[in-house]
């Protein structure tokens, strides 16, 4: 699908270390602001037990998981919307991603400098969000200036856009992100707002970066709870010890699981973050299964069968005839395609079929 989540935050909060742990890709991380200038991009495999279970039945030559792209974006600072700290460059990098992973420092460490010389997660979060809002205010102000003359002259499309831009600006001036009003927009407004590429319209997950000492009892941690309580009810927060995850990334899976158990953690924070990022963008997975490979394919919720076939090859969408579909549950229950076919569990679906998460597919197309 080519969708990306951008990792943002103040300098020295653990963004590059998190990116390295997520992607097993070492990037420069140091005790200085703006170590990262150009964004680093890497794909991360989504752990999906269904892929393993399908492979047990098919015994393919290879297994190909779904992937998700993460982008390590340099640290923003107060004044970024006015160009401070290379702010314009960094804001443009955020504009190009589909979701935001906002890393907030929730640990004390005198050896790691903080740009504000204090550990205050709520303030750190607000600094970043305020800069994103200021950048969005500038964007919609430019829209208002561009179309105000036409709108006042009674041009219908200009009037719609003018009113929308004013609504967005008023929301931002109340220090509320654009995503807070998305549900109230008409279809026409929703289509229009996408053309503005507004930063605070993007979905966000907050990562509370805790020390290894804090992570096992994060629910009672003062700094974590201050940050959590400052968020809106529908905003997600994930507690992660980036230091621990960085160390886990250097060992094999069995040893990593032992370490996690010693911290009373059942699942790696990185696995949780990858899955939550996937869900945040309303992504689903379908599978193709054959002797050459069992592969997971990522699609956007609501996509039709021909569009999903087009993810494999553009010709498959253009020449789509039908799709033979087996639900994952039936594929496992009846031990593969032939067993499902014998049990009457293979469905033949046409061009209007909305693909479902877990569908095992065989697409048929013309010449």
Please give the C-alpha separations between residue 162 and each of 143, 170, 179, 302, in angstroms, as whole numbers.
8, 12, 18, 30
pLDDT value of position 74: 72
Cβ atoms of 9 and 235 closer than 8 Å: no
pLDDT value of position 264: 80
Helices (H), 153-175: 156-173
pLDDT value of position 251: 87
pLDDT digits (tens, 9 = 90+) for 132-188: 999 999 999 999 999 999 999 999 999 999 999 999 999 999 999 999 999 999 999
pLDDT value of position 42: 83
Please give the C-alpha separations between residue 218 and each of 14, 60, 242, 294, 358, in angstroms, as whole numbers.
17, 42, 13, 38, 34
**Measured in whole angstroms, how far is the alpha carbon of residue 199 from the centre of its chain?**
14
Beta strands in the chain (DSSP E): 4-8, 40-45, 62-64, 67-72, 99-105, 204-209, 236-240, 283-289, 293-300, 320-326, 347-349, 360-365
Instruction: Please check if 16 is assigned to a binding site.
Output: yes
Nearest CA among 238, 256, 303 for reference residue 3: 303
Beta strands in 210-334 (DSSP E): 236-240, 283-289, 293-300, 320-326
pLDDT along the chain (367 residues), means of 10: 85 87 56 52 88 97 91 72 57 90 92 81 94 94 95 93 97 96 94 95 97 93 97 94 90 87 83 89 95 96 97 94 98 98 98 98 91
Sign of CA dihedral 13, 16, 17, 23: positive
Domain annotation for the chain: domains and CATH numbers? 4-47+67-115+203-280 (3.40.50.300), 133-200 (1.10.150.300), 302-365 (3.10.20.30)
pLDDT value of position 259: 86
pLDDT value of position 36: 45
Residue with tokens 């499309």: 157
Instruction: Please check if 14 is assigned to a binding site.
Output: yes
Instruction: Please check if 30 is assigned to a binding site.
Output: no
Say how far apart CA 146 and CA 236 lie, in whole Å: 36
Q: Which helix or strand (DSSP H or E) is residue 189 part of?
A: helix 187-194
Helix pair 121-152, 222-229: axis angle to 10 deg:
20
Q: Are strands 67-72 and 283-289 parallel, antiparallel or unpaired?
A: unpaired
Q: Helix, strand or coil for residue 277?
A: helix
- Please list, in sequence order, all residues whose beta carbon lies within 8 angstroms of the beta carbon of residue 153, skipping any fewer than 6 positions away: none
**Measured in whole angstroms, how far is the alpha carbon of residue 252 from the centre of its chain?**
26
Instruction: Please check if 207 is assigned to a binding site.
Output: no
């Amino acid at each position: 699908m080519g969708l990306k989540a951008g990792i943002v935050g103040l300098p020295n909060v653990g963004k590059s270390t998190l990116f390295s742990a997520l992607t097993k890709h070492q990037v420069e991380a140091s005790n200085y602001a703006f170590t990262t200038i150009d964004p680093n991009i890497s794909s991360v495999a989504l752990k999906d037990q269904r892929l393993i279970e399908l492979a047990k039945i098919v015994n393919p030559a290879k297994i190909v998981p779904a992937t998700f792209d993460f982008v390590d974006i340099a640290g923003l600072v107060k004044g970024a919307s006015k160009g401070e700290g290379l702010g314009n460059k960094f804001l443009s990098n955020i504009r190009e991603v589909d979701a935001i992973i906002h890393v907030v420092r929730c640990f004390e460490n005198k050896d790691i400098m903080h740009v504000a010389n204090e550990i205050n997660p709520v303030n750190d979060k607000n600094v970043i969000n305020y800069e994103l809002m200021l950048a969005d205010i500038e964007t919609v102000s430019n829209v208002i200036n561009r179309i105000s003359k036409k709108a006042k002259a009674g041009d219908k499309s200009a009037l719609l856009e003018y009113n929308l831009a004013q609504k967005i600006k008023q929301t931002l001036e109340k220090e509320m992100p654009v995503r807070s009003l998305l549900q109230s927009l008409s279809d026409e407004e929703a289509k229009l707002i996408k053309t503005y590429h507004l930063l605070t319209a993007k979905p966000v997950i907050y990562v509370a970066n805790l020390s290894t000492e804090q992570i096992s009892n994060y629910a009672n941690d003062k700094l974590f709870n201050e940050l959590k309580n400052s968020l809106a009810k529908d905003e997600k927060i994930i507690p992660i010890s980036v230091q621990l995850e960085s160390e886990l990334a250097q060992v094999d899976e069995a040893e990593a699981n032992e370490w996690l158990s010693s911290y009373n953690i059942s699942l790696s924070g990185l696995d949780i973050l990858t899955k939550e990022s996937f869900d945040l963008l309303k992504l689903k997975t379908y599978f193709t299964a054959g002797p050459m490979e069992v592969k997971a394919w990522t699609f956007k919720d609501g996509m039709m069968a021909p569009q999903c076939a087009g993810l494999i090859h553009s010709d498959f969408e253009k020449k789509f005839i039908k799709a033979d579909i087996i639900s994952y549950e039936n594929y496992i229950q009846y031990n593969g395609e032939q067993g499902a076919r014998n049990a009457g569990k293979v469905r033949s679906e046409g061009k209007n079929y909305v693909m479902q998460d877990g569908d095992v597919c065989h697409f048929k197309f013309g010449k």
